Amino acid sequence: MWQHRKLIAIFYKPLLRGNLVFSILAFIFFMVTGWHLVLFLLFIKAVGYTLLVGYQYTMHNNIYFYYRNIGLPVRKMYAYAFMFDICAFALMFLIYISIF
């Protein structure tokens, strides 16, 4: 993974804005409802991931050939991108909990 970090950043760049929107939406939902519906946060994130993968698959499908030619499977690139997003969301969540 470490040798492909620049490629992962390039792959994640179109997904970043959408993931931030769904992260903020889930975070606001948590602030409004509290701990009662915490698992719904994961549902919001999963819907966001599904919509973003569908968007990238339909609008930017030529990018997959580039990564396949390099030898990186697209599923692995999505896994790295979503792992980074989950870690960023968890960090944001933990910072909010430690402050309040």
Q: What is the pLDDT of residues 61-93, one digit of tens each?
A: 787 788 888 888 888 888 888 898 889 889 988
pLDDT at residue 2 in the model: 62
Q: What is the pLDDT of residues 12-65, one digit of tens each?
A: 888 888 888 988 888 888 888 888 888 888 888 889 999 988 988 888 778 778
Cα–Cα distance measured from residue 71 to residue 49, given in angstroms and rounded to the nearest whole number: 24
Dihedral (CA of 94, 95, 99, 100) sign = negative
Cα–Cα distance measured from residue 68 to residue 78, given in angstroms and rounded to the nearest whole number: 13
pLDDT at residue 1 in the model: 61
55-62 — which CB contacts under 8 Å span 24+ positions?
55/18, 56/14, 56/15, 60/14
pTM of the model: 0.77
Inter-axis angle of helices 63-70 and 74-99, nearest 10: 100
| Domain limits, the chain | 2-99
